[in-house]
Each structure stands twice: as C-alpha cells, then as structure tokens.
Chains A and B, each alone.
Chain A
Amino acid sequence: MKGFEAFRVAFDALRGNRLRSLLTMLGIIIGIAAVIVVVSIGAGARDQIESQVEGLGSNLVLVVPGQLDTANPGQGAAAASPLQVSDGRVLGDVVGDDAAVTARISSAAEVRAGSRESYVTVQGSDQNLPYVFTRPVAEGEFFTQGDVDTRQRVAVLGSVTSQVLFAGADPVGRQITLAGTRFRVVGVLAEQGESFGVSQDNEVHIPITTAQRLFGIDRVDAFAVKAPSAADVPALSRGLRQALREEYPDQEFSAVTQTQILGVIGDILGLLTAVLASIAGISLLVGGVGVSNIMLVSVRERTKEIGLRKALGARQRDVLTQFLVEAVLLTSVGGVIGIVVGVGGSLLVNGLSPLPAKVEWWSPVVAFVVSAAVGIFFGVFPARRAGRLDPVVALRTD
C-alpha cells in the first residue's frame, strides 16, 4: 500500500469519527498553542529589552563596584560601594574627557507639586548625564556643574513626571517637594519610552551631591562612561578598572558593557523561555498519551476490520502503516490547528496585553515537526499491536 493511499484510508477513518478525533487532537492543539505563545512572548520580551539596552548606546561602559561575573549571572556579589564623586575625575583621565563620565545614585521617593503627587525614581547625577546617556533636554536646562558643586536643590523632571505633576503646564521655575525638601524645577527631559514595562520618564534628576545629603549616603553607586567609539570599549573597560584598582587596592570593579548586558539578558530569557516552554510541552506529552490511548481503543474496536484486511492480503506492515499514519495525521492536523491558535494567541497577547510577543518564523515549523513526531512516538505501540493481530482470531472477534 503506497503512502498516499494510506493517508486516504487514515483520513476516511478519522472523518468517520469526527468528534472523537477532534477531542483527541485537543491535547495536541493546546500543547502546541501553549508552546508557541510562550516562545513568542519570550522572543518579544527579548527583542524589546535588547532594543532598550541598545538604546544605551554601544559605546557606553558602566563601572560598578564588585566582581560581576557576566558569564554566570547571580554568581558574583555586588560589594558595598567605595566609590566617591571625586573618582569621576580619575575615570575622566582614563577616557581623556571629563565630560564623558557621569556619576549616579538611585533611590525612590514621593514627589509633590501643589495637590498633585507621585512616587518616582530619584536619580542623583551630574551635569554630564544628558551627553553620556544621550538624553536631550526638552524644556529649560539641565543642572550645571555649579549646581552639583554647591548642592543646589534643583530638579530636572522626566516627561511623564512633568505631565503628572503639572498636567501640561510649563514646570520650569516651579517648586516641587521631594522627600520633604523643596526643589526648583529647572528643566524637563525629552521622552525616552518604557523599559520592562516601566516608564523611564517617570523620574526626577537632581545633583548627586544633593541626593547624597537628601538620602544620607556618601557613596556613588556607579559611573557611566561614554567611550569615543564602540571599538574603544574593550580597552577602555580594562583601563577604567585598572585605574580604580590603583585607587582602591582591596576592591574589585566591573566594567559592564552593552554587549555583556545583552548576552546576560539573552541567556536569562532563553533559559526562562525554555523552562516555560517545557512546562507547556508537558501538555503536549499528555496529548500524546491521549492519542496512544485512543489509538489502542480504535485498534480494539476495529479488530474485525483488521482481520478482514489481513484476510484480503494486507501485510503486517500495511496494517501498521495504516494505524501509524492515522496517529500521525491526528497529531499533525492537531499541530496545524495548534499553530493557528498559537500564532493567533500570540498576536492577541501582543495587541491586547502589555506583554510583547513576537512569532519567530521557526516556531511553527518546529511545532509541526514535533506534533508529527509525537504521532509517530505514541502511535507506534498501538499500530504494532494492530499489525501483529492474528487474522483468524481477529475475524472471530465480535
């Protein structure tokens, strides 16, 4: 019996039992659809994060205290920071441009303007931030070196914070209260967008010296350094760490680049996606067991038919092929439906929920191959049983 004929016979058999075929497929449909949606969300999240990290610029180096092992995230420990604002000058000497270095500490606080209030990220930084992070000022001015040196209580708002506190009115020159202290707004940054579903525009920038006093700390969390070009990044990273080690002989420092962050994020998301897809894949396995079960029932029900086919000249191989093709047809049709549902579901998630989802071209292909493989794997046992039936016994069965 040729392959095509086997497909025709199998198709007729499945069509003759429509409801049962559909219910059997359901396990495969759900499994395949779930895996595709999970993989799509993983891919969408990775893409979004990557584009945001890339937004940092490929020539940005973050200098942080402690040994961060980017190859094994979670292994290294961030040490208590020994960094001081004055270290910015040391780093500036390494890169050859003081303006290419900006210090940073981060905290969070409640901010009020009149009767409006909001909970925001407070970034303590210096006058170099707009240049180093490429964040243009939309209104007013960024604070100056003088403001930093003299601990002025001035603030630059993110675009969202500005909107929340002043509802479209020009905030420059107005007063805000940050953690109980009054600040004068001197500027508003241009819109930046979201990262990880959190707005980067809902923040308030104040001079780092002011922030240190406001939050009662005398350290700097990190420095961001802008390399002249992406090609200078590796050499610059070494130079920066070297310079800081000379400054603090007992301490380790790490220079984190965009490439490293991308690598780490890719690894973490890949692992997370794999774990979630495996969990979804379990339902595929359960679906496969269902197919096996139904095929066994089908073999038993059709014992007489098998006996007849053998009496008419069907070989063991013909009967085996017939039932195997039936199982594969069942799972691959289920797979195709699952792909349609999964792709549709991914598009819905992308459109209707905050989660990003992106259907990779290979995921439907892999899904189809896997569903067919599930059919073969779970179909072989019932099909062999059918093929081995003794025609005399099979014909006698009622």
Chain B
Amino acid sequence: MTAPAPSGVDGPATSGPAIEAVDVTRSYDLGGTVVDALQGVSFVVEEGEYAAIVGPSGSGKSTLMHLLGCLDRPTSGVLRVGGRDVLELDDSELADLRNREVGFVFQSFQLLPRSTALDNVGLPLLYRGTKRAERRELAEASLRAVGLGHRLTHRPNQMSGGEQQRVAIARALVGRPRILLADEPTGNLDTRNGAEVMRILEELNAEQGVAVVLVTHDDEVAGRARRQVRVRDGRVERDTALEARPAGPAGDAPAGAGPAAAGEPGARHVAGQQA
C-alpha cells in the first residue's frame, strides 16, 4: 500500500520518485560572507525507500533535511518533492506541500505541551481544513497504530520520552504523507525506547510504504537503513545501498560502541551517485 497522493489543490498526483534533487546548492549570506552549506547535491528518494543521511556536524545534513522537508528553498538546482518543483512554489503552496507530502519527526519531539496527544496528532489536519470530528478520528487511529491507544487524552508531560516520540510519529503520519523525515529520532531516548521508535518507523515503512529518511550521526541507527547517504562538506560523499536487515530483535544491540571515524559497519560497497 502506497501513500495516497491527496487530490485537489495539489494538482495531478505524480507517480515519480518521492524526492528528486539535481545539483542542489544552498548558500547563506552571513553579513557579506557567503557560506555554501550545500554545494551541488544530487540524489533520489524513491517511494517507500528507507534511507539514512549521515555525516558529521557542519556537514550540511541539517540544511539538506530542511530542503527535503520543504522548510527552505535551494539557492540553485532542481528539487522536486512529490513531483512539485519547490522553486516554483510560493510560501503558501510550499506550506501546503509540507502539509501533504512530508511528515516530520524531531529529536526533541516538538509536541505542544498544553495539548493532548489527540490534539497534537490532529494538528497537521487542522491546516488542511479537516473537520474536528474527522481529525479526532484519524488522530486516534494514528495513535493506535503506534501503540498509544491508551494515551489519547494525555498531555506530553504525562508521558515518557518514548511515548512522546511515538505521538510525534503518529502526528507525522496522520496526514498520510509520502515522505517521513526523522531528524535524530532516537537522540533524546534511552536505548530501549530508541529501539522501540526505530521498530515502529521500520514497521510503518514496510507496511504503509511511506519513504523514511533518517538524519543521524548514530551509526547504529543509520546501519538499520537500507541505504546510507554520507554527507561531508556540503556534498554527497558516498551513497551506499545496504543489505536489507531482517526487522529482528533490534532492542538489545549495544549502542554504537566506538567512534568509528571513517569505516562504518555495513558500508561494503560504494554505489553510484544515484540509484
């Protein structure tokens, strides 16, 4: 089952790749000094893919994630998300594209502290004009899908970190986006909760066909993806397809023991720049 492209204002649903980046650059003008955060990045995320973007801090992976999530526009190049060219959209259309095509999961959960789990999860639908009753219905279904059927009316401070991140995942998925962008989703969680969150993400990827793009510097997390895009100095350094791992007993694996400067487990062969 693939994520259904919403019809209507968005124009014709396209069946191309979820994300297509061609020679994308992003420069910042910091009071005279121009900083090139991305210097010509090209890659494609297919529908239903499970990829990890890795790289040291300052490598440009955050900038890349903001571009993929349509929070920002490239300085040059072509970036298509859900078949729409980001540079051709105005702010409102870009917001709409974010709303329909992208789901975000943040390291720090980013839940509204005074809202219940149901209201938090229903938030993306609010900006789509969905009626309240239907919002609640869809939000409840989404919360049940991440195993939080018993936490519907709890507020974030009444839940554990793992539960909060599962609420965030439910929120990212409630609008049935094509792409789920997860920025260090396990960064604020202990090993057990982190593994649980990863298991849910993998399950959703496998069962609902949503493309999952992880941004992480945790090799253990990155190693679970079927593809690794290594970014360094604003360029894609390596784009590696990994063997699909069985979604097995992930939980008890020790967290990435060593710093693993260059060689990461699993990066056995270097694939071409693009799939």
B104 interface residue per 8 A CB criterion: yes
User: B243 within 8 Å of A by Cβ?
Assistant: no
Chain A residues lying within 8 Å of B175, measured Cβ to Cβ, are 313
Chain B contacts with A in 205-259, Cβ cutoff 8 A: none
- Residues in B with CB closer than 8 Å to A311 are 69, 71, 98, 104, 110
Instruction: Tell me the chain A residues, 302-350 only, with Cβ under 8 Å from chain B.
Output: 304-305, 308-318
In whole Å, how far is B247's beta carbon from the nearest beta carbon of chain A?
28
Contact of B110 among A5, A317, A395 (CB under 8 A): A395
Residues 98 to 156 of chain B near chain A (Cβ within 8 Å):
98-100, 104, 106, 110, 112, 114-115, 123-124, 126-129, 132
- Chain A residues with CB under 8 Å of B35's CB are none
In the complex, identify which listed stretch (B88-96, B157-165, B189-197) lies at the interface while the others stay far away.
B88-96
CA distance A318 to B96 in the complex (A): 11
Q: Does A249 contact B (CB under 8 A)?
A: no
Q: How far is the CA of A255 from the CA of B124 in the complex (A)?
A: 77
Once A16-B114, A392-B71, A392-B72 are accepted as A-B contacts, the answer to whether A312 and B127 lie under 8 Å apart by CB is: yes
| B66 interfacial contact with A, CB 8 Å | yes
Is the pair A5, B126 in contact by a Cβ cutoff of 8 Å? yes
Contact of A312 with B92 in the complex, beta carbons under 8 Å? no
Decide if B112 touches A308 in the complex (CB within 8 Å).
yes
Instruction: Say whether A213 faces chain B, with CB atoms less than 8 Å apart.
Output: no
A9 CB to closest chain B CB (Å) equals 8
In the bound complex, what is the Cα–Cα distance between A314 and B129 (angstroms)?
11
A318 CA to B129 CA, complexed, in Å: 11
Task: Determine whether the beta carbon of A305 is less than 8 Å from that of B112.
Answer: yes
Task: Please indicate the chain A residues that have their CB under 8 angstroms from the CB of B66 in the complex.
Answer: 392
B112 touches A310 (CB 8 A): no
A1 with B71: in contact, given A16-B114, A317-B92 (CB under 8 Å)?
A: no
The residues in A between 79 and 96 inclusive whose CB is less than 8 angstroms from any CB of B are: none
Measured between alpha carbons, how far is A226 from B112 in the docked complex, in Å? 79
Which residue of chain A lies nearest to B111 when distances are taken between CB atoms in the complex?
A308
B129 with A313: CB separation less than 8 A:
no
Indicate whether B171 reaches chain A with its CB closer than 8 angstroms. yes
- In the complex, chain A residues 262-312 whose Cβ is within 8 Å of any chain B Cβ: 304-305, 308-312
What is the CB-to-nearest-CB distance from B58 to chain A, in angstroms, rounded to a whole number? 14
Q: How far is A312 from B175 in the complex, measured between Cα atoms in Å?
A: 10
The one of A9, A304, A313, A317 that contacts B98, using a Cβ cutoff of 8 Å: A313
Instruction: Say yes or no: B72 contacts A313, CB within 8 Å.
Output: no
CB-CB under 8 A from A310, the residues of chain B are 71, 95, 98
> CA A9 – CA B110 in complex, angstroms?
17
A392 to B69, CA, bound (A): 10
Which residue of the partner chain, among B91, B106, B124, contacts A316 with CB atoms under 8 Å? Answer: B91
Q: Which residues of A contact B100 (CB under 8 A)?
A: 313
Report A-chain residues with C-beta under 8 Å of the C-beta of B96.
313, 315
Task: Give the distance to chain B from A319, nearest Cβ to Cβ, in Å.
Answer: 10
**Interface positions of A from 1 to 43, Cβ below 8 Å from B:** 1-2, 5, 9, 12, 16
- Interchain CB contact under 8 A, A313 and B95: yes
Instruction: Check A315 against B171 for contact (C-beta < 8 Å).
Output: no
Which residues of A in the span 227-268 have a Cβ within 8 Å of any Cβ on B?
none
Question: Does B128 contact A391, Cβ atoms closer than 8 Å?
Answer: no
Alpha-carbon gap, A305 to B175, bound state (A): 19
Q: Which B-chain residue is minimally distant from A305 (CB atoms)?
A: B112
Which residues of A (104-128) have their CB < 8 Å from a CB of B? none
- Whether the Cβ atoms of B128 and A313 lie closer than 8 Å is yes
- Please tell me if the beta carbons of A312 and B98 are within 8 angstroms of each other in the complex: yes
User: Which B residues, 171 to 214, have Cβ-Cβ distances below 8 Å to chain A?
Assistant: 171, 175
Q: Is the CB of A1 within 8 A of B127?
A: yes
Q: Which of A2, A313, A315, A317 has the most CB of B within 10 A?
A: A313
Measured between C-beta atoms, what is the minimum distance from B178 to chain A in Å?
14
Contact B114 A314 (CB under 8 A): no
Least Cβ–Cβ distance between A45 and chain B, in angstroms: 49
- Say yes or no: A309 contacts B92, CB within 8 Å: no
Q: Would A313 and B110 be within 8 Å (CB), given that A2-B129, A391-B71, A392-B72 are in contact?
A: no
**What is the chain B residue whose CB lies nearest that of A4?**
B132
Known: A313-B96, A317-B92. A308 touches B110 (CB 8 A): yes
Given contacts A310-B98, A312-B124, 4 further A-B contacts (CB under 8 A): A12-B115, A16-B114, A311-B71, A313-B100
Q: List 6 A-B contacts (CB under 8 A).
A: A1-B127, A1-B129, A16-B114, A312-B171, A313-B96, A313-B100
Binding site for A on B (CB under 8 A): 66, 69, 71-72, 91-92, 95-96, 98-100, 104, 106, 110, 112, 114-115, 123-124, 126-129, 132, 171, 175
Q: Rank and list the top 3 A-B pairs by shortest CB-CB distance, nearest first.
A: A313-B99, A313-B127, A315-B95
